[in-house]
Every structure is written in structure tokens, then in C-alpha cells.
Amino acid sequence: MSPDFPRTLAIFCKVVDNYGDIGICWRLARQFHAEHGIAVTLWVDDLASFRRIWPQVDTAAELQNIDGVTVRHWAGQDGQFGPADIPDLVIEFFGVDIPPGYIEAMAQREPRPVWINYEGLSAEEWVEGCHRLPSMHPRLKLIKHFFFPGFNEKTGGLLRERGLVEDCARFQEDAAAMAAFLGRFGVREEEMAALKVSLFCYPHAPVSELFDVWAQGAMKVSCLVPEGVAREKVEAFIGARAQAGAAATRGALTVRVIPFMPQTDYDRLLWACDVNFVRGEDSWVRAQWAARPFVWHIYPQDENLHHVKLRAFLQKYAVGAQSLVDFSLRWNDAREGQMEGLWTSLQAELPGLTRRAREWEAQMLANGDLVSNLLDFARSLST
């Protein structure tokens, strides 16, 4: 095993779920470079979505350097490539189709690169059997290996940069820092005593029903919604355009529209809130590292296959927390039920869910961090 392998690396990202795909790939790219000194090239097809989570992105640039990472606009499948263009390690994200000319050049390079298909995060048991499996190219002398993030030692673990958990703990222990951070978005001092909730979901989530329950409830709730999320339902509540800075209070509920923020600030939002509603994969993982109760809105799939994936995760995570299971299934349209009763039950279990979040964090830490695990695997293939 060569400790200085790889020196160069490429990640190919095609944006399907607006921010989750590029969110994960950008975290990967930054960590490979910052913590392991690897020269990283990130190929991404949607620079506009990228810019929303990292404002330094120039959406008109074909080639740019951001925080030491080379970012290339992946404009299509054409292009001429030679062996000298190919890095030591090539990662295709969620099985995207790398340009054919690039693959041909991979086969011509000596030594051939390690080729990894970075798969989606799932708690389903079949993942453990597929993690690290090889796949021969049908025509070229190339082998691709599958690498699955996951929740135990039989998978690649969760994406986590160095010092993340410690930074989160320090922030959460500093009430003044949290108040100052939330104050940037208009959260008043008296709102700090309310139940602080971040809301990030897909448009079909039953947001209006939940807003009604919160507004009519006995507990004050301060809900922070990034601009563009559940736009129509947020606008119906506040009675105005859902642009950053807009806010309204009805009954016990205050809804505030906040800017769509860089990843580093979004992490702090999750750390500062008492409950986080997250979606897709990137924010889902970050909610787990925030060690706070959270509700996951899973990316929808045909024939409701996503409900299987949701239940598999809840079976592992929501141990002894039936209220979270019931509410999560309702939030994802996987069961029926009155939102009021489901939320009331969940709210009553928040102290226990906070303890469970801490336990889960400790379990996930024991699996190591995904980038280090992936590099160890890639090095084992390079010998």
C-alpha cells in the first residue's frame, strides 16, 4: 500500500437533486484536498446550483480554482482526452456516465487509475454485500469498484471532515455564539426560548398542515426556511413573497425566510436549531452530525421505492422512538394520520430523541470517516 497514493483525483458530478449531489461532491473535493493534500479536479454540469451553496463559484467559467480545487464545467460527453489527462483516482458519483473519450484514456494510462463508483447512502442490508465489489468494463481493461457510504463497519461510513464534531460541540455550548448566528437572520432574543426549527424539504411535503399545528400549539416555534424551499406554502403563511428577510407570526408560530447559505453556514444552522427538517442526502448526513433530533424528507422514487429506504434507516436510527417513525412516514406520504397528534407525540419525545442523536453520533464515529476509508481502499487496489 502506497501512503502517497493518490496524488491526483477527479470527481464527476451530475446534478439531479438540486443541491444534494453537488453538496456531497464539494465536501468530498474539499476534504480530499485540505486534509490529504491531493490535487482534485471536480467536473460538474450545473454551476448555478453549485453557486447557491458556495458563492465563490463563477457560473460562466469553464475552468476555475476554488479553495485549491480545480472546478471544470462538465458541458457534455464530447471531448478529446489523453492518458496524461487522467489522474490516479477517478470517482464517478452515483454511477454517472463519464465521457467515453475519458474512459478510453483511462484504459491507455499506465498505470491505470483506480476507478470508484461512489454510491448513494442507504441503510438497506444489500448495501453491505455490494460494498467494494468489482465490475469489469465490457470492452476495456478497466475495473470499477463500488463504494457505499453507510452506517456500520461493513460500509464506507459517513462523510465527515476532521474536527467537525468538536466544532459542533463548541458552538452548541456557546449560547452567545448561537444567538449571534441566528440574529443574522432576524431571530430576536425572545425567540431564542422558542423551539427553533430549520425546514429544508421537497415541495410536496405537508408543510401547510404542520404550520397550522405549530400555529395552534401551546409551544412557541421559530421556523427558519431557506429561500426557495416550499415557496408556495411559505408564501401562503406569510402573505408575501418568500424572499430572504420576509417573516410572519401567527399564533405560536413565527416563520422566517432566510438566505440560501454556503455549506459552512448551513452546518451552523443545523447546530443552532433544536429540530431539523432535512432532505436528500447531504443535509441528512449533516443533521446526523449536528446531534439534534431531525426529520428526513427522502428523495422520491418511482413505485415508492424510497419508502423502503426510509423504513430501513428508521429501523436502525429511531430505536425506541415510535413517534419519530410515525411522523417520518407521514411526512414522506408513507402513511396516513392527523398531523396534530403525530407532532404532539414527537414533541413529547424530543428530550429522548436528543439523547438518541448523541448515541447515534458516537456509533457513527466508531466507523471512521468516509474519505479516509475510501483512500485506504483505493490504496489497497493500487498495489
Which residues are identified as catalytic? Answer: 21, 281
- Side by side, the strands of the sheet bearing 39-44 are 63-66, 69-73, 39-44, 8-13, 89-93, 114-118, 143-147, 134-136
- For residue 24, the surrounding DSSP H or E stretch is helix 20-36
**Which amino acid type is present at position 90?**
V
Please tell me the total number of residues recorded for the chain in this structure: 383
Let me know if 36 is exposed, middle or buried by CB neighbors in 10 A (0-12, 13-18, 19+): middle
Quote the CA–CA distance of 40 and 311 in Å, as a whole number.
Answer: 36
Q: How far apart are the first and last CA of the chain?
A: 6
**Position of cell 466507523?**
367
Cis peptide upstream of residue 134 (ω within 30 degrees of 0): no
CB proximity list for 143: less than 8 A, separation 6 or greater: 115, 134, 135, 136, 137
DSSP code at position 280: T
Task: Give CA separation, 166 vs 123, 153, 172, 344, 353, in Å.
Answer: 26, 22, 10, 32, 20
